[in-house]
Chains A and B, each alone.
Chain A
Amino acid sequence: MTPGGLFARLVAALGGLGGLRRNRERRQAELHQILPPGKRQFDAVRSEEQGRGREAAPPPELDETGDPRAELYVALLLIAAAVAFVGFVVFYVVSEDTQLLGLSIGIGLVLAGVAAALAGKRVVIQEKTTDEYVAYGDREERREVANHLVEGKVGVTRRKLLFSSLAAVGAALGAAAVVPIASLGPRVGEKVYETPWSAGKRVVDERGEPIALDTLSPGEFITGFPAGESKEEIGSALMIVRLETDELELPADRADSAPGGYVAYSKICTHAGCAVSLFRYPTFDETQPGPALVCPCHYSTFNPADGGKVLFGPAGRPLPQLPLRAGADGSLEAAGGFYEPIGPSYGGIREDPGAKPL
């Protein structure tokens, strides 16, 4: 079915609902003929006679007030909704396109909603009554009430069809809701501590070119990756900045981690895992804010001169630094793994930053 055709049908269905307004008055008039308003009183409190009351109730003498065609429409809409929900499951399995997932579940929900509205309008008889809370009435009156209670569903002729299509919708929607559980990955476990970096791993740029010691001037940055590894790994991307060597304030045990003023940090923010892609470097540090790496999501700000210390923002621990050294050919390579666990903070990592050095 083309989206255009579908839309036209939806509009038609909604238009049909609008048309009901006129029908309603007529049908209410019919109902009033069947049940004169004065007799519509019942007792909802007393329950001991309920069973008997129901038994005693003869089939109401009602014309077929439900609309068989509407029932068919409702059933068709429900089946279409079920098909859409099944479509979600099918798309989930066979396609990578999340747009199709959204489209199928959206169409299914709209169809089910239209079906519910249509059922409420045209299949189940709607009527308002005023209960006069009077003396616990006699048998006759109770029978009247019982009739009144059952008449709502009497008009429904294809109950089986409706219920089975409703069940199909329920099952299909349930399946659509459950299937994405398959997207949950394996347990994270120790994997969070594993990165592609180890001593001697060459640093390359976006295009796979090595980064020589003279590639950047002080005050420039570049995104680095491990040579020959996937760029998609959470531990791969590096924010490499070159600072003046006299600007560096690295802790004593990291003094050798910055050849030529080059310092490298994980590009993944320790707050919520966004890419730390902003670099601020002053033209004139006496009147301007100092060098900083900034995450665009929540403005966590890290000091690249001082081991990634948090200067500002919600991050709870420093940006993990990767020690660098100049390789045999003068281009940058890792001198070891990260000093801290990389990635967003959670649980123990945040509480004990030094828990698991790599």
Chain B
Amino acid sequence: MKRLRVLIPVALLAASISLLALEASAKTAGEGSASTPPSSQFALGRAPESAGRGLFVQGCSSCHGFEGEGVKGAGPSLVGAGEQAADFYLRTGRMPLDRPSEEPIRTPSPYKPAQIRALVAYVGSLGGPPIPEVHPEDGDLAEGQKLFTENCAGCHQIVGRGGILPGAVVPDLGAASALDVAEAVRVGPYVMPSFDHLDQSEVDDLAAYVEYTHDPEDKGGWAIGHIGPIPEGMVAWLLAGVALLFTIRLIGERTTR
């Protein structure tokens, strides 16, 4: 810990020196550096924030503006969004979006983890809440289910398999980590409302429940993908139909013609 405290200022100093050097070299290089691929920009050893700035200008500014101030009709201002929202959208691959009118959905991110950290640091520098803490291991599963039922199950279904809403697809929470849950609950991504009135222990409870739904204890046996009563009913009818046919075969008799 002590070593780290010493190291951080040293690293910052080194970073700012290299930054100055880079600024200078960029000036001499002119337009050349703007077309440098994102990965090589980060590899140059800039501090995450400024490396993130470069990535941001390249990948995000067309919708969110050069200073993250937003673009009318394309993307919202990121001032005040904070690392919390940036980390959620980028880490789950919801951003960048091909078209601003699309619904952001979970996809593999085109950025490397280090690039995501840089972008998150840049957006965080515009102000807003930091990446939240979450401790699902401290959460109460029963309380989590209660909170989930009350606040989340309307859209995400009680086992978190998602669904639809007029105008939006509700994501399956099967891939959602505890941190994703904590961030989404605070951020309210896309058309999800935020639940900022939930306190830290309630978020822990929710995260514990969502982690539980990844592999729930199916007391009833066959869960049929946890996708609800309609497939369950269809399967029941099919099984009952076979049983009925069998019974008919048993008590009826074949006519010989």
CB distance from B147 to the nearest CB of A (A): 9
Asked whether A121 lies within 8 Å of B251 as measured between CB atoms, the reply is yes
Nearest opposing residue in chain B for A281, CB measure? B193
Q: Which of B18-26, B164-172, B219-227 contacts A (4 or more CB under 8 A)?
A: B164-172
Q: Which of A97-126 contact B (CB under 8 A)?
A: 117, 120-121
Q: Is there contact, CB below 8 Å, between A284 and B167?
A: no
If A287-B73, A301-B166 touch, whether A217 touches B194 (CB-CB below 8 Å) is yes
B-contact bits for A287-330, CB 8 A (1 contact / 0 none): 11100101010010100000000011100000000000000000
A282–B188 Cα distance when bound, in Å, is 9
CB B97 to nearest CB in A, in angstroms, measures 9
Q: Please state if B192 and A294 are interface contacts (CB–CB under 8 Å).
A: no
- Residue A95 CB within 8 A of the other chain: no
The answer for the CA separation of A216 and B197 in the assembled complex, in Å, is 6
Q: Which residues of B contact A283 (CB under 8 A)?
A: 76, 188-191
Q: CB of B101 within 8 A of chain A? A: yes
* A280 & B194 in contact (Cβ 8 Å cutoff): no
Q: How far is the CA of A294 from the CA of B100 in the complex (A)?
A: 24
> Looking across the interface, which residue of chain B has its beta carbon closest to that of A215?
B197
Secondary structure type dominating chain B contacts: loop
Determine whether B212 belongs to the interface, using a CB cutoff of 8 Å to chain A.
no
A24 to B150, CA, bound (A): 62
Query: What residues on B are CB-neighbors of A221 within 8 Å?
Result: 193
* Closest chain A residue to B191, Cβ basis: A280
Q: A280-B167, A289-B166 are in contact. Are A220 and B194 (CB under 8 A)?
A: yes
Interface residue? A345 (CB, 8 A): no
CB pair A219–B193 under 8 Å, yes or no, is: yes
> A206 at interface (Cβ–Cβ under 8 A)?
yes
CB < 8 Å neighbour of A219 from B153, B163, B194: B194
Of the listed residues A18, A217, A275, the one surrounded by the most CB atoms of chain B closer than 10 A to its CB is: A217
CB closest residue in chain B, given A312: B166
- Could you say which residues of chain A place their CB within 8 Å of the CB of B73? 286-287
Kindly provide the distance from the CB of A19 to the nearest chain B CB, expressed in whole angstroms: 11
What class of interface size applies to chain B in its complex with A? 20 to 34
Residue of B195, B251, B253 near A220 (CB, 8 A) is B195
**Is A220 a contact of B154 with CB atoms below 8 Å?**
no
Chain B residues whose C-beta falls within 8 Å of the C-beta of A299 in the assembled complex? 165-166
Residues of B within 8 A of A219 (CB): 188, 193-194
* A299–B166 CA distance with the chains assembled, in angstroms: 7
- Asked if residues B251 and A287 are in contact (CB atoms below 8 Å), the reply is no
B197 touches A294 (CB 8 A): no
Determine the distance from Cα of A283 to Cα of B77 in the docked complex, in whole angstroms.
10
A216 to B188 Cα, complex, angstroms: 13
Interface presence of B242 (CB below 8 A): no
A279 within 8 A of B: yes
Minimal beta-carbon separation of A69 from chain B (angstroms): 18
Partner of A288, one of B155, B163, B166, B190: B190
Q: Are A18 and B190 in contact (CB under 8 A)?
A: no
In the assembled complex, B239 has its CB within 8 A of some CB on chain A: no
Residue of B163, B167, B192 most packed against chain A (CB within 10 A): B167
Query: Is B150 within 8 A of A223, CB to CB?
Result: yes
Q: Do A278 and B191 touch (CB < 8 A)?
A: no
| A222, CB-defined interface residue at 8 Å | yes
Give the number of residue pairs across the A-B interface with Cβ within 8 Å.
87
A279 and B197 alpha carbons, distance in the complex (Å):
15
A17 at interface, CB cutoff 8 A: yes
Whole-angstrom distance between the Cβ of A330 and the nearest chain B Cβ:
16
> Which residues from chain A contact B166 at a C-beta distance below 8 Å?
280, 289, 292, 294, 299, 301, 311-313
B197: chain A residues at CB < 8 Å are 215-217, 220, 222
Task: Find out whether the CB atom of A296 lies under 8 angstroms from the CB atom of B154.
Answer: yes
Assess whether A287 is in contact with B191, with CB atoms less than 8 Å apart.
no
Pair B251/A120 contact, Cβ less than 8 Å: yes
Q: Do A279 and B193 have beta carbons less than 8 Å apart? A: yes
Tell me if A277 and B101 are in contact (CB < 8 A): no
Interface flags for B193-219 (1: CB within 8 Å of A; 0: not) read: 111110000000000000000000000
Assembled-state Cα–Cα distance A24/B191 (Å): 69
Interchain CB contact under 8 A, B155 and A281: no
- Measured in the bound complex, the distance between the Cα atoms of B194 and A217 in whole Å is 9
Q: Does A14 contact B (CB under 8 A)?
A: yes
CB of A125 to closest CB in B, whole Å = 14
Residue of chain B at shortest CB distance from A223: B150
A287-B155 in contact (CB<8A): no
* Chain A CB within 8 A of B174 CB: no
Interface 0/1 of B120-160, CB less than 8 Å to A: 00000000000000000000000000000010011100000
State how many angstroms separate the Cβ of B219 from the closest Cβ of chain A: 14
17 contacts across the A-B interface (CB closer than 8 A) = A14-B250, A117-B251, A220-B188, A222-B197, A278-B154, A279-B193, A280-B165, A280-B166, A280-B167, A282-B190, A284-B75, A289-B167, A292-B166, A294-B165, A294-B166, A311-B166, A313-B166
A interface residues with partner B (beta carbon < 8 Å)? 14, 17-18, 24, 117, 120-121, 206, 215-217, 219-223, 241, 275, 277-284, 286-289, 292, 294, 296, 299, 301, 311-313
Q: What 6 A-B pairs come out closest when comparing CB atoms?
A: A277-B154, A289-B167, A284-B76, A281-B193, A117-B251, A280-B191
